[in-house]
Amino acid sequence: NSFCTLLGLLPEPESSTGVVLSQQLRRLPSQKTPQVSDRLGPPTPFELLTAETVPEECRVAARTPMSCPVTTPVPHQAHDPAVNNDPCMMPCKSALGDDCNVVNPNVPSGAPDAAGTTKVPIPAASATVDAARGSVSVPAGATPCVPDNEVDAPALAAAGGAVMEEEFAGSKAAADLAFANEWLASKPDVLAKVREVLRAYDAKLYQRSTSSVAPFWRNVLRDLVGKAGRPPQAPADADRADVESVESEPEDGQNEDDSFFAIDLSSVIVQYAKFCRHLPRVEPHYAMKCNDSKPMLAMVSALGGGFDCASKNEFRAVIDGKYQTADGIIYAHPCKMINNIQAANRRGVYLTTFDNEEELEKLHKHMPKAQAVLRIATDDSAAVCELSSKFGCPMANTQACLERARELDIRVVGVSFHVGSGNSSPDAYFKALADARDIFDRAAQLGFEMNLLDIGGGFPGSDPVPNDAGVRSLSFEEIAAFIRPVIDDLFPESVRVIAEPGRFFAESPYAICMSIHSKRKLTKRDGSVEHQYYTSDGKYGSFNCMLYDHQEPNVHVLHPDAEAAIRTTTIFGPTCDGIDWIMKQHKFPALDVGDWIFCPNFGAYTVAAGSTFNGFSTRRVEYVSSIDVFKL
């Protein structure tokens, strides 16, 4: 497995040249699994996962840290100081309590687990332990001990079991918040700008005190439900005058059962500080296509971020909104419309990508001052959203592109790549970085002075959780630990390194809250019963992410009923299209008209691509802050 083979370890270079090291990187997958003793310095959490002395249950649990209360591994004895908040090195606590009756699935029934604690299993006839998801289905009266892991376990809500919440003071969430506070307090100019943004959006303080995100949002949304909302500050508002005129009629106004977004603007601060901590050399340029709402642009701007724009409307919004100057933008579209190139040229947005010779011809004619960045194709076969089938110059064609650029007297200043969103393979990053180094060397032979490396985006915006097979994608901290030393080894400090994170910043700040406005019970021909519910947002609106971004939203009940029956459930959106559903035939607690559901981590590729089809849209928005920045 590449995950176990490429655990952040690099062979010692045979020389100081990047070419030799890049050749060694290409050989990495065939090498034996390294042991902790093979490397000088403190072992990283990834080295620990390969050490023969570490029990398998610890290695498994460390790869799925969010399910620690079920798997209960031994604490790691060493860590990488550079990533000392990574979930893989955090001691995974038992946290199961005296009343817990959940068996550790990695330990025989009744036997001591890796931490030396004996757990009493629930009788097999009355409960099911799902170690992969970190969830347990239990009968009424039993006490389940599992985290509220971004996913509501429907049977838990029905059984009324208490959801074990990791002690916040020792959680990863608390550590991330603490570091964000320290980081922000150390930058008075940034702090002043952040305060201005929070004042401008009248963000209400809801300090976080839960280690997982769903309980935090449940507390916030319960308070906000029924309160008068404000219209969202989105660029698309101007195109929705017809809908606005209907929604603003006095007799209905802002109805109390309208769906709404809540935005934790401080979450952007936490993510930005985390990015700077784990990739200190990399300058983030926010991919605004992910979420182009004004609050997101304002907060990224206040924090000092640049912007990744792909059209004239995007870089106009950034420049006209005074979120950044033209120098703080990368026009990251390798195949641009001519009128967009001309607009960029007039605005002074010269840093732009290309991946073919025809694009060079357009730049030569319409943007003679272009600072061109060659985007290369990558192996994104392990990504959730693949991009190299559409963009990226194959390595076999890069020499011809460089030579044509020299003939046209176009200044090529660097290399960019994107390994796809949600890429779970370290190999992809290693190979792309090695290929970029190779192009740097060949470009130098042609007389180009390259000084920019763009490592793209696709970084996860929240801590990943295992799927049904017990496999999860890499966390941001893990990705950073893999690529940080490779960047430093391959590229000298004189090379400017940027990235294009979108989801990383936009996913976690948003939650959507929706009421159930209708329901019905459907008896099928085979005699089975399906309970169908109707809510006010769906695939034509914010849940377009299910179609275009391969997302599976985690739906939570705002007010769980301990006695609710678990039923086969489908939840439909508001439009007249049968495909407009957000949950289909899942086991879920029974709901009533007037109940509320919510989805956390819902800011990436949701509002940006939503439509008003059938006249429906989520327009109410509430702004909150999980950090009291006015006390820093």
Which are the catalytic amino acids? 576
In angstroms, the CA 514 to CA 536 distance is: 6
In angstroms, the CA 388 to CA 380 distance is: 7
Please name the residue that has the structure tokens 């009968």.
139
In angstroms, the CA 234 to CA 296 distance is: 10
CA separation, residue 536 to residues 127, 261, 516, 568 (Å): 35, 12, 8, 20
Contact 127, 136 (CB under 8 A): yes
Q: What contacts 494, CB < 8 A, 6 or more positions away?
A: 451
**Cβ atoms within 10 Å of 337's Cβ, excluding its own:** 12
Q: How far is CA 114 from the centre of its chain?
A: 32
From the number of C-beta atoms within 10 Å of its C-beta (0-12, 13-18, 19+), residue 217 rates as: buried
Three-state DSSP class for 487? helix
- Looking at the DSSP bridge assignments, the partners of residue 530 are 522
Least Cα distance to 145 among 108, 181, 119, 170 occurs for 119
Least Cα distance to 618 among 313, 291, 255 occurs for 255
Three-state DSSP class for 358? helix
DSSP state of 477: H
Q: 310-313 long-range CB contacts below 8 Å, 24 or more apart?
A: 311/340, 312/339, 312/340, 312/343, 312/344, 313/235
- As given in the structure block, the two tokens for residue 567 are 């039923």
Contact 87, 172 (CB under 8 A): yes
Q: What contacts 281, CB < 8 A, 6 or more positions away?
A: 484, 487, 488, 493, 497
Q: What is the dihedral of CA 394, 400, 405, 406, to 10 degrees?
A: 140
